[in-house]
Structure 1
Amino acid sequence: MATIEDVARSAGLSRTTVSRVINDHPYVSIAKKKKVKEAMEELGYVPNSAARSLRNQRTGMIAVLIPRVMNPFFSQLIETLELAAAESFYQLIICQTQYSAKKELTYLNLLKTKQVDGVILTSAENDWSAIEGFTEYGPVILCNEFDERANVPMIYMDQQEAGYKATRHLIEQGHRKIAYCCGRFRSNVASAREEGFMMALHEAGLAFDEQYAFREAITSSDGTEIFRSIRGDSGRPTAIFTGSDEVAAGIVSEALRHGWSIPRDLAVTGFDNQVITELMNPRITTVEQPVREMALKTMEVLLERIRNRQYTGTERHQFSMKLIVRESTHMQAELAGIQ
């Protein structure tokens, strides 16, 4: 977290001058005041005296940080969070980070400056060491995200189990060369999914070809590009595990456009069980996350922390997934839940 010394260095002034500006001393030039205020804003610095007084106030506002509003998973999560917050007379502020670490820190400053009473972090763009300091100012809850080093509540699905079971399903359908794609390969969520994916391959004695790892796939357009990149390969994969229904839909649509048969020529799994998976023909096999249950537990834990003014302390709530098997991976598939 930024200190008064950091502000002084950034402004190119002495610590004494910065202190005078903060305490509204009359004998400081307008130019120096401007430099100090700009440095404070850039660093997200809040004077200790202000932070102490703000800490005892309630705003009735909660910030939820999401990477993409357009992602149906996060839209569904937000809807349940908002309804649960409203029942307790809280309002939800939706902050879209667009996977920007800088934006994430800007939104976390809403907690530091006491513009919100708590923050729900659904996707961490910064290292935990950069986030941890904000927990001094109010509760931060990780929902859909987790970090072994975090000393805050975490509500998430078992992503490793999801990667394992979806991949094992493809192997059981006879596939021996399987591609892997996820959204943000540096995230803990993606890492856990990939661990499950690799675990299933290793268990079956199958090798993985790194040229068929697509670790920056987020949208349906990305899915389209993935299909185009593999369609001409003679040794191409016969199945693809994706971490997104959007990406899976893009792959399936482009494959059909080129006259391919799904799943005969290419089997595809999605992730999240969004509406698009049932609208596609063939319907898409996907991992279903318990979004509503995760959202309700998140709001329950957050409101309790706000009421008790308990800002730190590890608490884990892990949910299981469900594999919904459909025609994109199984020729004779009927809607089935595989626990």
Structure 2
Amino acid sequence: MATIEDVAKLAGLSRTTVSRVINNHPYVSEAKKQLVIEAMKQLGYVPNSSARSLRNQKTEMIAVIIPRVMNPFFGQLVESLEIAASEYHYQLIVCQTLYSAKKELDYLNLLKTKQVDGVILTTLLNDWKQIEPFLDYGPIVLCNEYDQKANIPMVHIDQEYGGYVATTHLIDQGHMRIAYCCGNIKSNVTKAREKGFRKAHSEHGLQIDPKLVFQNVFTFEDGKKVLQKLAALDNRPTAIFTGSDEVAAGVISEAKKLGIDVPTQLAVVGYDNQAITELLDPMITTVHQPVKEMAHKAMNVMMNQIKYKNYKTKEVYQLPLSLIIRNSTCLKSPERLN
């Protein structure tokens, strides 16, 4: 923890001068004020008197850190979190990282400087050891993401089962050569889904072709590019399990352009059950995640954290998911598998 002496040393000024700046004392030059302010920022120094004041005030603001605003899943999650927050007369600050670990830490400083009362993390881009020190300044809740090492509340879905049930459905349809798309490879959500994908293959004695595994696939355009690569293969897959409905939509769009019929020549499974799944022809088979329920549970947990100030408590809430079968994988009537 930085001290006033550390600030004075870094600024190249006396302790007295630093103290005068902190207490808004007159007759301190603007140049010296800037030196002190910059040193305090670099060291993360918060004056004791200010820290006491900050700890006792509430902003009635919650920061929610997401990777991409344009991702329909995170857009729906943010909307649901905002509705839940308003029930407690709180507001949200939406922070987009674009999968930058540095940005994630920068946004967590909002908690440290008490610009927000709590932070909801929907992805985890840094190691938990880098996140944990921020609990000294307020509550953090993981929503969607999960980390076994974290000693905080977590509200999430069984992503391994999601990957497993989606892949099993394709195998049950007779597909033995299945392509796979995933997002951020460092995410525990991504790792769990892939584990389910591999588990389904293993149980059915099937091998996974590394050429059919695509990483860091996030957008509609990414889905189109994946389909282009698959179309160029001599031994094409007959099915693909994507990491999101957005990617699945890109795959189907490009398949139509290239004259590849879905589902007879290529079955497609999405993830999240966004509105786009019912707008395309064929409609997309997808894994439904209870986003509204997850958001309300996360906000309820956050409010309890703020109220009781017990920030370092591990609580795990796992919500159910289901597979919604539509015409992108089979020609019979849609159905839901729990």
- TM-score, normalization: structure 1? 0.92
Aligned partners of 1:160 and 1:310: how far apart in 2? 30
Q: 2:61 — aligned with what? A: 61
Q: 1:137 — aligned with what? A: 137
Q: 1:3 — aligned with what? A: 2
Q: 2:199 — aligned with what? A: 199
Which residue identity is paired with 1:100? S
- Call closer, same or farther: CA 1:308–1:256 in 2, change over 3 Å: same
Give the alignment's Cα RMSD to 1 decimal: 2.3
- Call closer, same or farther: CA 1:254–1:308 in 2, change over 3 Å: same
Which residue identity is paired with 2:299? M
Deviation at 1:20, TM superposition (A): 5.0
The reply on whether 1:236 has 2:223 as its aligned counterpart is: no
Aligned ranges for residues 267-306 of structure 1 at < 5 Å? 267-306=267-306
Q: 1:100 — aligned with what? A: 100
Deviation at 1:316, TM superposition (A): 0.4
Structure 2, unpaired ranges of 5+? none
The reply on whether 1:325 has 2:322 as its aligned counterpart is: no
- Call closer, same or farther: CA 1:59–1:182 in 2, change over 3 Å: same
Judge conservation of contact 2:54–2:114 (CA < 8 Å) in 1.
yes
Equivalent residue pairs, number? 335
Structure 1, unpaired ranges of 5+? none
Deviation at 1:3, TM superposition (A): 3.3
Q: 2:111 — aligned with what? A: 111
Deviation at 1:29, TM superposition (A): 6.9
Aligned partners of 1:100 and 1:17: how far apart in 2? 38
Stretch deviating more after TM superposition (54-63 or 149-158): 54-63
1:216 partner SS: coil
Q: 1:338 — aligned with what? A: 337
Deviations 1:100-157 (A, max 9, x none): 2222122111111111111111112221111111111111000001111111100000
1:24 partner SS: helix
Q: 1:165 — aligned with what? A: 165
Query: Percent same amino acid among aligned pairs?
Result: 55
Which residue identity is paired with 2:246? E
Deviations 1:260-315 (A, max 9, x none): 11111111110000011111101110000010110110111101111112211000
Judge conservation of contact 2:118–2:140 (CA < 8 Å) in 1.
yes
Moved over 6 A (4+): 25-29
Which residue identity is paired with 2:82? E
Deviation at 1:61, TM superposition (A): 1.0
Judge conservation of contact 2:21–2:36 (CA < 8 Å) in 1.
no
Judge conservation of contact 1:51–1:112 (CA < 8 Å) in 2.
no
Deviation at 1:335, TM superposition (A): 2.1
Judge conservation of contact 1:249–1:280 (CA < 8 Å) in 2.
yes
- Call closer, same or farther: CA 1:49–1:133 in 2, change over 3 Å: farther
Judge conservation of contact 1:252–1:262 (CA < 8 Å) in 2.
yes
Q: 1:181 — aligned with what? A: 181
- Call closer, same or farther: CA 1:23–1:110 in 2, change over 3 Å: farther
1:337 partner SS: strand
Aligned partners of 1:5 and 1:142: how far apart in 2? 34
Deviation at 1:4, TM superposition (A): 4.5
